[in-house]
Amino acid sequence: MTCVKAGNAIICMSPWGRLHVGNRYVWVDYHSYCGPAFSYDAAGNKPYDPVDENDPVWPEFDKWLKKYQASQAKKAEK
Report the predicted TM-score, pTM, of the whole model to 2 decimal places.
0.77
40, part of any domain: yes
1, part of any domain: no
2, part of any domain: no
Its sign, for the CA torsion 63, 67, 72, 77, is positive
42, part of any domain: yes
Q: How many CB atoms lie within 10 A of CB 4?
A: 9
Per-residue pLDDT tens listing for the chain (78 residues) = 566 778 888 777 677 888 999 899 999 988 877 889 999 998 889 999 998 999 999 999 999 999 988 988 888 887
Domain count along the chain:
1
20, part of any domain: yes
Domain hosting residue 23, numbered range:
15-77
43, part of any domain: yes
